[in-house]
Chains A and B, each alone.
Chain A
């Protein structure tokens, strides 16, 4: 479903601040596979997601999603096949537009934009149904501006928007990191529900070790732009947070230094 072959990303090449952010990573995802990604500060987790999404141009390697070689596609074109939710709740929505207008933009993804009416009656019906699934009461606030929503409500909405038109790959970049613990849990539940229902191929970066093992079907650990651990199935079921931290120490030769890392 998703094939990443030997990709490399170097920031500021040829300068004193040159940094090898992604070091020859290869990764294959089967259809419906839900992968969690963990790692220390500057391990390249977000960069990996941004390389896949097309925010950064690659220095080497190729990316194939759903059988199409997207290596040289611009970000907006790849986005028609990729859903994304960012860490910052402000990044996923247009604050000065209403909830239904935001959903309409998401729903128009991959369709010809044109000068047809932005929202039809049938669209509204659909948006209402989808919003009801969130269980946040947003279906009664569809004409309100997104700027009036809380961070958690926005992330839930962004998640809905990212999956509105079924993507071939869902990228979640620490999308619960800036939420309070209760809301984070709720958004994670919602994530699992949406991913399982649509059987979505998903990459989720998280700073919560427990969540990394609890959600999804496969866990990847990154360090200095490389994948240093990749577990699934029985190995993953036997894994605990303590073991994970120990594994990190022995594989990277360093202590885990993610200052936002949650071990419990």
Chain B
């Protein structure tokens, strides 16, 4: 891989890592398969773009964070208060967000940000100017990672983590699981929207379709991270998720460089995640098949 491509995938990986942390929070910590992500990612990018056009790129990130949190709240409330299944609640909010996102973008499907001031201009004029696209997302990622870690180690954080493990137990210990789910989903989608907002400014455009498959990319990052870097402690898990996101970007970069058409990207992502999810079953079946073959071999050999 060329150095340019390598640096690019690291930069993108850092931005996607923020989203992967959000996906980790819903899928793993809350055990809530949340498809809101595909919508809230674009919501973040949409706000980011219009605030950038208006000349307030930093404010765009903050508004994205809030808007994403709000989207997560809607999904959480649909599940906890109206008892709609998590998957369906997520799909409904994702669908609704498509229209909302178009509204935010002023009914345009695409907002270019060429020659606009972005958060990456913050380091202009300093010796670090050249590395702004690496350093700014990295600083945000590290701060968020530490904050998330500290949060999950608080009393409320414990209750939130236990909700995904065993909601019944959490209720039996006097905590309202509706609240833990609400807060967890809000945080998750806030992170996702922030990642979308950063990506918009990084690539200098927002597109209404840029969220398609985000949840799969997030999940791929989580799974790759878990398999490659382990799940022993909470800190390790969080770091694993972020490294997983970078590794995923690198795999994609290598595949693209080897001549894979960019249009095949989604198919490859879907296949990767399907394989990773199926791995335990494939291993089990392979073991069973092997035993069966050996057993039959023995009985036939005895005849």
Residues of A at the B interface (CB closer than 8 Å) are 53, 74-77, 79-80, 84, 86, 90-97, 101-102, 104-106, 108-111, 113-118, 161-162
> In the complex, which of the residues A75, A96, A114 contacts B171, with contact meaning CB atoms closer than 8 Å?
A75
B174 touches A79 (CB 8 A): yes
Cα(A110)–Cα(B173), bound, Å = 8
Segment among B51-59, B157-165, B246-254, B286-294 that sits at the interface with chain A: B157-165
- Which label, helix, strand, loop or mixed, suits the secondary structure of the A interface? loop
Segment among B122-130, B147-155, B195-203 that sits at the interface with chain A: B147-155
CB distance from A223 to the nearest CB of B (A): 27
Specify which chain B residues have a CB less than 8 angstroms from the CB of A77 in the assembled complex.
Answer: 174, 176
A76 touches B159 (CB 8 A): no
Cα(A91)–Cα(B171), bound, Å = 11
Other A-B pairs beyond A93-B166, A115-B154, A118-B158, 10, CB < 8 Å:
A76-B174, A76-B175, A92-B172, A95-B166, A97-B161, A97-B162, A101-B158, A101-B162, A111-B155, A115-B151
Specify which chain A residues have a CB less than 8 angstroms from the CB of B155 in the assembled complex.
Answer: 104-105, 108, 111, 113-118
Specify which chain A residues have a CB less than 8 angstroms from the CB of B162 in the assembled complex.
Answer: 94, 97, 101-102, 105
A109 touches B174 (CB 8 A): yes
CB distance from B275 to the nearest CB of A (A): 24
Specify which chain A residues have a CB less than 8 angstroms from the CB of B212 in the assembled complex.
Answer: none
CB distance from B57 to the nearest CB of A (A): 30
CB distance from A182 to the nearest CB of B (A): 25
Q: B169 in the interface, Cβ–Cβ < 8 Å?
A: yes
How many chain B residues touch A (CB < 8 A): the figure is 23
**Could you name 19 residue pairs across A and B whose Cβ atoms are closer than 8 Å?**
A74-B176, A75-B171, A75-B172, A76-B175, A79-B172, A94-B169, A97-B162, A101-B162, A104-B158, A105-B175, A108-B159, A108-B173, A109-B174, A113-B175, A114-B156, A115-B155, A115-B156, A118-B155, A118-B158
Known A-B contacts A94-B165, A97-B158; the reply to A79 vs B173 at CB < 8 A is yes
What number of A-B contacts does a CB cutoff of 8 Å give? 88
A94 touches B161 (CB 8 A): yes
A118 touches B157 (CB 8 A): yes
B168 touches A91 (CB 8 A): yes
Cα(A74)–Cα(B156), bound, Å = 19
Q: B71 in the interface, Cβ–Cβ < 8 Å?
A: no
B171 touches A79 (CB 8 A): yes
B173 touches A106 (CB 8 A): yes
Q: B219 in the interface, Cβ–Cβ < 8 Å?
A: no
B165 touches A96 (CB 8 A): yes
